[in-house]
């Protein structure tokens, strides 16, 4: 049945592909030893929910290249959600984030899977690291076993090395630059490699390579995907400070308490008055902030003009993505879906 738009119908197909794969794999894991059940449960939790944007971009990269609807391609696209799940588990571990999607993060939940004692926190973190590793391994496994012809898979296989290299580079750059004075340029470089490429550009390329897309179309995917991926993460940075935790499902203290080198923070430090800048710098990276302190820092960021500047950056990048799409001369159905995905990636509250 042809897929019309990147909404609930495609998402439900991706969800089902993931459910089947994860059920089979966790059953095999627990068959080794029943004590592994808490680990299996965190693997299930890691992929249980999501917007499935990365899978949608991969699927529509395939369709934009002239290929028909395909259950095998839906499975290949779903593999991108396992990459994302792995990145989230590792990111939460790096940041020591307490909640994700309204429930304890993997490393917090897994503390209770080990014997209570002085080492339970470290053991929980170690188990979470392995959960993330397993998810990344599953991504390659699900992709290789999706059912598409081997010749198609061979065209896309080199992209996986690029994706992993750039994702790790972005994560490392963020760690290395955390607690230093951020610049907008440095923050955008981190965004580009840590999030933008694996969220939009690489999934589009995955679908395109599988479909045998010509270089000109792949260039169009980049012209659309990089600015849109940057806009996606800039929105995430705003939600990380100004979002409602009941909607985002995560703490809005993490970025400021961890002194993350975001574009929002870079613009706040540049635009703030000397007194506001000193107040902001004195509280960044303290590891914990009270609700009152968070409100004070939000006010400073607002007064500095940083929130409005980041909104402007998002709008500029969404416009660049639309312009690239208009110039690409894609099949109408794929073009409509990719236009809709611009709004899904940038105009969101969670």
pTM of this structure: 0.94
Instruction: Per residue of the chain (350 residues), give pLDDT as tens.
Output: 334 444 679 999 999 999 999 999 999 999 999 999 999 999 999 999 899 999 999 999 999 999 999 999 999 999 999 999 999 999 999 988 888 888 899 999 998 887 676 778 899 999 999 999 999 999 999 999 999 999 999 999 999 999 999 999 999 999 998 877 888 899 999 999 999 999 999 999 999 999 999 999 999 999 999 999 999 999 999 999 999 888 888 878 888 888 889 999 999 999 999 999 999 998 887 777 888 888 999 999 999 999 999 999 999 999 999 999 999 999 999 999 999 999 999 988 87
DSSP alpha helices (H): ranges in 243-273? 245-248, 254-257, 263-271
Encode pLDDT of 17-33 as tens digits.
999 999 999 999 999 99
CA atoms within 13 A on the CB side of 315: 6
Burial of 124 per CB tally in 10 Å (0-12, 13-18, 19+): buried
Phi-psi region of 222 (alpha: psi -120 to 50; beta: other; left: phi over 0): alpha
């Amino acid at each position: 049945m042809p897929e019309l738009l990147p909404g609930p119908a495609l998402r439900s197909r991706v969800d089902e592909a993931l459910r089947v794969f994860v059920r089979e794999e966790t059953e095999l894991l627990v068959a080794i030893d029943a004590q592994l059940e808490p680990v299996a449960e965190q693997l299930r939790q890691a992929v249980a929910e999501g917007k499935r944007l990365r899978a949608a971009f991969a699927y529509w990269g395939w369709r934009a290249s002239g290929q028909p609807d395909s259950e095998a391609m839906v499975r290949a696209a779903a593999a991108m959600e396992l990459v994302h799940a792995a990145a989230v588990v590792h990111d939460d571990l790096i940041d020591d984030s307490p909640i994700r999607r309204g429930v304890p993060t993997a490393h917090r939940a897994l503390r209770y899977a080990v014997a209570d004692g002085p080492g339970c926190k470290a053991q929980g973190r170690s188990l979470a690291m392995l959960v993330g590793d397993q998810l990344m391994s599953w991504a390659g496994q699900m992709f290789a076993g999706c059912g598409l012809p081997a010749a198609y898979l061979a065209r896309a296989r080199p992209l996986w090395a690029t994706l992993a290299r750039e994702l790790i580079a972005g994560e490392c750059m963020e760690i290395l630059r955390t607690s230093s004075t951020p610049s907008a340029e440095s923050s955008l470089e981190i965004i580009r490699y840590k999030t933008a490429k694996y969220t939009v550009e690489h999934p589009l390329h995955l679908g395109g390579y599988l479909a045998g897309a010509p270089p000109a179309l792949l260039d169009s995917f980049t012209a659309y995907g990089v600015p849109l991926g940057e806009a996606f993460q800039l929105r995430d940075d705003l939600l990380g400070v100004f979002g409602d935790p009941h909607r985002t499902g995560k703490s809005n203290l993490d970025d400021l308490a961890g002194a993350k080198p975001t574009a929002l923070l870079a613009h706040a430090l540049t635009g703030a008055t000397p007194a506001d800048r000193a107040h902001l710098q004195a509280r960044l990276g303290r590891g914990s902030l009270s609700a009152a302190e968070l409100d004070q820092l939000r006010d400073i960021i607002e007064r500095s003009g940083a929130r409005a500047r980041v909104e402007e950056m998002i709008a500029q990048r969404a416009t660049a993505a639309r312009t690239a799409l208009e110039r690409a001369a894609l099949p109408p159905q794929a073009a409509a879906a990719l236009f809709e995905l611009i709004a899904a990636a940038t105009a969101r509250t969670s």
